[in-house]
């Protein structure tokens, strides 16, 4: 009986910890958020909808060659995206925005490394995955994609990641107000 009570207590504590972790994630704030859109459910005019938000963004090419490692089947075609807000936004603010406007999954993640997202967009650093064309990256609401792509050669990326200042480098491509 004592062991059963102890196990129940541990289970309750674990549930409480998980609940607190989920709550903290929803309260987390950042000005760079990653999101996902699926081709089958996103509105056809998704680029116009994104532009209307007036938040600089960048989108990966359609990832339509990704394979589920477990099943070996193709994943649903999707795009990865990043918003670059002027001010801090919470998980719930961004989650609600993309699910309402883009019919997207509610899950969003803080972007710790814009360089990492850029690599992920094209699978540049992952030869095991199908590569995607840099020309198919989309952007809008003032994000200067051409300038970003032209200036981001391997030397610049390496320098930025070594010095930990890639975030400072990427801000050059955001609109100034």
- Domain locations along the chain: 26-141
CA 105, CA 82: separation in Å to the nearest integer? 14
Instruction: Please report, in tens digits, the pLDDT of each residue of the chain (177 residues total).
Output: 566 566 566 655 655 545 454 555 567 999 999 999 999 999 999 999 999 999 999 999 999 888 888 898 889 999 999 999 999 999 999 999 999 999 999 999 999 877 777 778 888 778 888 888 888 999 999 998 877 666 554 544 454 444 444 455 555 555 555
CA 162, CA 177: separation in Å to the nearest integer? 30
Predicted TM-score of the model (pTM): 0.71
CA 34, CA 126: separation in Å to the nearest integer? 19
Could you say which DSSP state residue 74 is in? B
Under 8 Å between Cβ of 114 and 31: no
Nearest CA-CA partner of 42 in 107, 112, 102, 122: 102
Direct distance between the N- and C-terminal alpha carbons of the chain, in angstroms, rounded to an integer: 66
What's the pLDDT at 160?
43
The tokens describing 157, both together, are 């990326």
Task: Put the strands of the sheet holding 57-59 in their side by side order.
Answer: 109-110, 29-38, 78-90, 57-59, 138-140
Q: What's the CATH class of domain 26-141?
A: alpha beta
How many beta carbons lie within 10 A of that of residue 126, not counting itself?
A: 11
């Amino acid at each position: 009986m004592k062991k059963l009570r102890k196990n129940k207590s541990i289970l309750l504590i674990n549930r409480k910890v998980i609940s607190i972790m989920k709550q903290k994630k929803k309260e987390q704030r950042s000005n760079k958020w990653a999101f996902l859109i699926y081709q089958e459910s996103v509105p056809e005019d998704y680029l116009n909808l994104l532009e209307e938000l007036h938040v600089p963004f960048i989108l990966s090419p359609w990832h339509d060659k990704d394979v589920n490692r477990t099943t070996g089947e193709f994943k649903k075609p999707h795009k990865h995206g990043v918003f670059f807000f002027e001010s801090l936004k919470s998980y719930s603010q961004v989650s609600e925005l993309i699910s309402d406007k883009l019919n997207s999954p509610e899950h969003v993640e803080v972007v710790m490394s814009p360089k990492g997202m850029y690599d992920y967009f094209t699978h540049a650093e992952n030869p095991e995955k199908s590569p995607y064309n840099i020309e198919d990256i989309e952007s809008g609401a003032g994000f200067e994609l051409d300038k970003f792509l032209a200036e981001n050669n391997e030397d610049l990326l390496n320098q930025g990641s070594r010095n930990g200042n890639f975030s400072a480098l990427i801000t050059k491509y955001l609109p100034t107000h």
